[in-house]
Structure 1
Amino acid sequence: MTVPAWLWFATIGGLVAIILADLFLVDHKPHAVTVPEATRWVLFYVALAMVFGAGLWLFAGGTYAGEFFAGYITEYSLSVDNLFVFVIIMATFKVPAIHQHRVLLIGIVIALIMRGIFIAIGAAAIARFSWVFYVFAAVLIYTAVNLARQGTAHDEEYTENRVLRLLRRMVPVTEDYHGAKSFVKIDGKRWATPMIIVMLAIGSTDLLFALDSIPAIFGLTQEAYLVFTANAFALMGLRQLYFLLGGLLERLIYLSYGLAILLAFIGVKLVLHALHENSLPFINGGRPVPVPEVDIVVSLSVIVGVLIITTIASLIKARRGLPARTDADRPGARASEGRG
């Protein structure tokens, strides 16, 4: 797939325009995001992804469109698991409800920039070394095993990473929020606010999730443009999904098992592709191994099928065994008061 420079610039420019428009709407009238509003935004971003995929189908062909959709659905699904951590971060830092949308937007922009760097490095490595597929496959299978062991359990506490601890040593942090400001001056001294801390927490935490999600999408397509756009669409719609899902997150009790199956499947797919492209001298004398490869139609079918079965099974189990949640349990309501 040949992607001209102007298309890269146009894509990034369109993404920046959407982010700036979103920021303007948030700053113009900060408010707690409602379920109907979140629903409209989720549908908007999903529709954008569908239109983009249709454009790929029209101008690049069904194969590349299929790879984009498979990557988009996979990234979006893996990102849902991030929401459990985002809920914990919001509660830990007691982010006011009116500022949660802004926090998620900036945090996800930080995550997208870092993922872009990661994608560029991964694409360059794949282009030069075919054995990188084996490494990616090992990462995915290892992560799949850990997810399966995790089962329905999720951590309930958030521990600050090294980036945040370093920032706290470099700049003093206020106890209270100062509106949407990230930095303030108090008695002539510059202070960071919890707002910048939680934004960096969201962005840096997502990078850890990218360590398995990026190899996963490279298992579906080796086109850097498709990898980047699938990540962009998935991340941009993620923050609205945070408000929409609310208490449903804890009802997706089999999500980890579903994601484990997907990662293991893509890991095996990567191994087959690595063997097909083999150049390692100790495997088949450095020649490609004639193994069957999984085409994108099968991949897309498996991804969608596993997610549907996982979701239905989770909701059935939740309905039988979990108590109903109240509006107070929604992420937007959990941290409606600031520190103080």
Structure 2
Amino acid sequence: MDVESVARELYRLPPAHFTAARNARAKHVAAAGDRELADGIRKLAKASPAAWAVNRVLADEPELKGEVVRLGETLREAQEHPDRQTLTELSEKRKGLVRRATNLAIDGAERDGVGVSGAAQAEIEQTLFAAVADSGAAAAVFSGRLVRALQSTGFEQVDTSGAVGGPQAEPIVLAAGGAADARGGRIGPRSAESARGVGARSAGAGAGAGGGAAAEAEEEEAAAEAAAAEAEAARKRAHEEAVRVAEAARQTARDAARKADDLAGTLSGYDREAREVAAEIDDLESQLEARHDRQRELGAQQRKAEREHRDAVTTAGRAARDADAAAARAVDLSSAR
């Protein structure tokens, strides 16, 4: 077991599950005593949605690797001996292959419950286009460890720095008989034969035209036109995607504005209700204070009545005693006579 094999397993998982699975695998490996491998696993970056979809489709559809390599080699050979018709045919084949592989990638992602946005779909197409155009990009794509999308201008080498999780992917090398080998899979024969066939047709076309400077100029013009057409198509796709993304952003902004208006109305209602409740509380507090005042008033009246009652009882007792005393004197006076 090495970082590359573990990475290929992890990068087939849906992006939402990657981080937890990576950390769990690193912890397990560290517990088993392989600290170096555990550190390598922890350093694996999470793949973008487009990169994950590409890793997945090439793992599920291995025959796509052979088609990409054979078509890429054929295209590069044809560009060395340009012929307008041949380049046009190969360009159409490339578009068809990229479109079919992209659809397979989207279908596979959706089967795993992962939606593919328009931007991610465009990145999948660009990455597969780059794999056809550039052998270094193909090596990164076929590694099964792609973490970001790739892009080809059609003229310069594709930048694959930081595109692969773990060690850099080994370049694709054509073996004897036309087989191509990349880390992570063998590609079947036919590439060299296809390339030689296209080269032969191109050379024949050049010879038929006289093989002179005029033929070379025509071939160069054809290659330039094909490259320009491809660049224009790529620019058009990028423009259409940018328009789509911009419209989606405007729609999102409109939806957010409507939601903000709705929330503002809701907040206004809450504020109005809060003021009403506060007014009710003030009124109840005023009523409560009035009740307290009345309670204090009644308490004072009660205490006054109690005092007057005590005074009346005292006065009545005193009067009763005085009456008793007067009655006793009256009896004494009556006896004395």
What TM-score, normalized to structure 2?
Answer: 0.24
> Which structure's CA Rg is the greater one?
2
TM-score (norm 1): 0.24
